[in-house]
Amino acid sequence: MSQTSSVAASPPSMRAPSVARRNRKRQVRGTLPVLVLFLPPALLLFTVFVILPMGEAAWYSFYNWNGYGLPTQWIGTKNYELIFNNAAFRQALINNGLIIIVSILVQIPLALWLATMVTHKIKGAVLFRLLFFLPYVLADVAAGMIWRFVYDGQFGLVAGIFNTLGMEAPFWLADKQAAMPALLGVIVWKYFGFHMMLFVAGLQSIDKSVLEAADIDGATGWQKFFRVTLPLLGSTVRLSVFFGVVGSLQLFDMIMPLTGGGPSNATQTMVTFLYSFGVMRMQVGFGSAVGVVLFIICVTLAFGYKRIFMKND
């Protein structure tokens, strides 16, 4: 407040910048009420529900704490040592990697292929688009429970198919080797529709005249796809991969009803590991450490990916 009164007394040479300053001040005065009114609620929510819990988790991760009362038993980095010596956590890391690989190598190509099909003007394209998108609409937990029944070796759909073929039905979800592939199948089934919709939107925004020009130049279907469609879809593909990676890291709700991370932790992901080994065992300190590790992995992957692959998007 004291600055405004000093403006009149200042030497002429100072006039010009002070006018600019006054203008800026007027601007600030214009936006100030808006800032005061609209910033605090968002800032408060973000601080209370995002920043503080993250800080708290980081703090808890250095304690041996069961979640009751306040943490008192400081154990340094013991929790982190335990995490990296834990075979189930290593399995969870591998599984998360597997899910990312499958979503990039299987799910996204499949989604892209189907998207190119359903954007053609063929009969029933809209119906197929809807059908392919349906699994994504389903709640994750419901999808997990449905597939638990499907895979059941006694009463499930898989059992039915095997029995009609005269073979003994397998119990994939109870088999350490088969459980993860079975789970990957469900993940692809559940989320390819989402990626397909991204691609459909991307394909629709491609200028038809470019493809017509390619036609006139005598390009084959493959050439058109690889030389024209795919480069023009680049940003959508990069976005899709980004969603795939982040979604894979967060995978939890579908696994719990399906396998609960079992058998023998074969289908554990980082988040189910956090839940089973942190929350359910009342090892909140340990669980927080897992959360911190997960957070660092997510942030590194997300920002690294955006920096490297999405900088022009």
Task: Specify the stretch interacting with another protein by CB under 8 A; choose among 7-15, 215-223, 242-250, 280-288.
Answer: 280-288
Smallest separation (angstroms) from another protein to the CB of 228: 48
Does residue 22 bind another protein (CB under 8 A)? no
Does residue 154 bind another protein (CB under 8 A)? yes
Cβ proximity to another protein: between 182 and 197 the closer is 182
Does residue 263 bind another protein (CB under 8 A)? yes
Smallest separation (angstroms) from another protein to the CB of 36: 6
Select from 242, 221, 210 the least CA-distant residue to 311.
Answer: 242
Give the Cα separation of 21 and 263 in Å (integer). Answer: 68
Does residue 260 bind another protein (CB under 8 A)? yes
Task: Specify the stretch interacting with another protein by CB under 8 A; choose among 5-13, 107-115, 123-131, 171-179.
Answer: 171-179
CA 39 → CA 27, 34, 42, 47, distances in Å?
17, 8, 6, 12
- Token reading at 287: 């669980």
Burial zone of 25 (CB within 10 Å; 0-12 exposed, 13-18 middle, 19+ buried): middle
Give the Cα separation of 270 and 252 in Å (integer). Answer: 8
Residue from 139, 280, 299, 310 binding another protein (CB under 8 A): 280
Tally the residues of the chain: 313
Contact code string over 65-94 relative to another protein, x by CB under 8 A: -xxxx-------------------------
Cβ proximity to another protein: between 144 and 193 the closer is 144
Does residue 259 bind another protein (CB under 8 A)? yes
Size of site (CB under 8 A) for another protein: 30
Cβ pair 86, 80 in contact under 8 A: no
Burial zone of 38 (CB within 10 Å; 0-12 exposed, 13-18 middle, 19+ buried): exposed
Does residue 32 bind another protein (CB under 8 A)? yes
Give the Cα separation of 20 and 2 in Å (integer). Answer: 17
Smallest separation (angstroms) from another protein to the CB of 116: 38
Give the Cα separation of 60 and 71 in Å (integer). Answer: 7
Applying CB under 8 A, the residues found at the interface with another protein are 32, 36, 40, 64, 66-69, 152-154, 171, 173-176, 179, 259-260, 262-264, 275-276, 279-284
